[in-house]
């Protein structure tokens, strides 16, 4: 059994998050409470050192800057941690029988043996100390691994963590959806679909739980007792 690891974040770094801990206990933190208070988030897969590197790398892929909040505010690292701990991380839904032809042409998709968990664990070894580098040095290091399968996963998972339904641990407070004007699962657009031609129509985002009025079990929790 692995020693329980935590990611300690300052309260100000995450928008307003409903974070589920490993034992399904919810710790809620509101945006208004921006203080020096820190939040200890139990990790499901990463060690604390790994989580800090992933958080830093996701922040370079999707930075927080003048054009709006990024991976940090959305809690992308929490999203990725949960995905890797769940069925996706262990390749539950991929055909994983050999033989494996690792150097197959691009048109055949990823043919490797390593699961997303293994790809991350291996890839993170090359990024030791990454979170302590300057942004310029971080970008330089990411450019060196840009064509790797690990980076492709990291980039894809970062986008997922920005724009998934908040029940998956990312898109905290729907910051990702607000950033692009996506309203989430609205039950009806009947009255609006053929109106607003050429004008932005931006209903207030709602999450799936708000829409269906109950908690929905996300796929990454399949393995949890």
Q: Is 63 in the site for another protein (CB under 8 A)?
A: yes
DSSP assigned state of 205: P
Q: Which of residues 96-155 bind another protein (CB under 8 A)?
A: 96-97, 99, 101, 104-111, 139, 142, 155
| Nearest CB to another protein, comparing residues 36 and 95 | 95
Question: Which of 34, 148, 163, 178 is in the footprint of another protein by CB under 8 A?
Answer: 163
Cβ(50)–Cβ(76) below 8 Å? no
- Provide the greatest CA pair distance for the chain: 57
Cβ(181)–Cβ(200) below 8 Å? yes
Phi, psi of 184 (to 5 degrees): 80, -165
Q: Which of residues 170-199 bind another protein (CB under 8 A)?
A: 176-177, 179-183, 185-190, 192-194, 196-199
CA atoms of 129 and 200, how far apart (whole Å): 43
Cβ(73)–Cβ(14) below 8 Å? yes
- Residues of this chain that interact with another protein (CB under 8 A) are 60-63, 65-68, 70, 88, 91-97, 99, 101, 104-111, 139, 142, 155, 159-160, 162-165, 167-168, 176-177, 179-183, 185-190, 192-194, 196-201, 208, 211-212, 216, 218-219
């Amino acid at each position: 059994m692995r020693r329980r690891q935590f990611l300690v974040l300052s309260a100000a770094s995450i928008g307003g998050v409903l974070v589920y801990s490993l034992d399904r206990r919810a710790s809620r933190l509101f945006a208004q409470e921006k203080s020096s208070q820190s939040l200890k988030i139990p990790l499901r897969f990463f060690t604390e050192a790994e989580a800090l590197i992933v958080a830093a790398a996701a922040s370079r892929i999707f930075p927080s800057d003048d054009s709006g909040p990024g991976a940090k505010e959305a809690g992308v690292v929490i999203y990725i941690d949960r995905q890797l701990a769940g069925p996706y991380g262990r390749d539950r839904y991929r055909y994983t029988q050999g033989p494996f032809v690792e150097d197959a042409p691009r048109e055949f998709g990823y043919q490797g043996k390593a699961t997303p968990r293994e790809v991350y664990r291996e890839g993170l070894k090359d990024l030791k100390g990454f979170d302590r580098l300057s942004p310029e040095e971080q970008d330089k290091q990411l450019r060196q691994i840009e064509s790797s399968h690990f980076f492709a996963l990291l980039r894809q998972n970062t986008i997922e963590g920005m724009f998934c339904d908040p029940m998956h641990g990312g898109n905290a407070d729907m910051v990702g959806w607000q950033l692009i004007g996506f309203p989430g699962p609205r039950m009806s657009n009947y009255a609006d679909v053929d109106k607003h031609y050429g004008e932005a129509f931006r209903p207030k985002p709602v999450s799936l739980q708000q829409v269906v009025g109950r908690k929905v079990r996300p796929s990454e929790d399949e393995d949890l007792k």
